[in-house]
Chain A
Amino acid sequence: MKAICWMGTGKVEVQAVDDPKIINPSDAILRVTRTAICGSDLHLYDGYIPTMESGDILGHEFMGIVEEVGSEVKNLKKGDRVVVPFTIACGSCLFCKKDLWSLCDNTNPNARVCEQFYGYSGSALFGYSHIYGGFAGGQAQYVRVPFADVGPIKIESGIDDEKVLFLSDIYPTGYQGAENANIQPGDNVAVWGAGPVGLFAAASAYMLGAEKVFVIDRFPERLELARNYCGATTIDYSDGKSIVEALRDLTGGVGPDGCIDAVGMEAHGTDVTALYDKVEQGLMLETDRPTVLRQIFQAARKGGNVSIPGVYGGALNKLNFGAAFGKGLNLKMGQTNMHKYLKPLLEKVEAGQIDPSFLISHRIGIQDVPEMYKVWRDKKDRVTKIVIDPWRETGIDRLHVA
Chain B
Amino acid sequence: MWQERQAALLRDEIEALLSLLPDMGSFYDLVKEPLTQDRRGLATEIAHGRPWPLLPLIVCEAISGHCEHALPAAAALQLLMAAGDVFDDIEDADSSESLPARYGSAVATSVATTLLALAERAITRLKARGVEDNIIVRVMDTVNSYYTTACAGQHLDLCLAPRITVSEDVYLRVAGMKSASQVECACHIGALLATASKELIDIFGRFGHNLGMAAQITNDIQGVTRGSDITKHKITLPVIYALAQTDGEVRNQLEDTFGKQAGPVPNPTSIRDLLFRTGAIHYATIKMEFYKQRALDILSEAEGAGASVERLKLFLE
Answer yes or no: do A and B interact: no
Residues of A at under 8 Å CB distance from B?
Answer: none
Residues of B at under 8 Å CB distance from A?
Answer: none
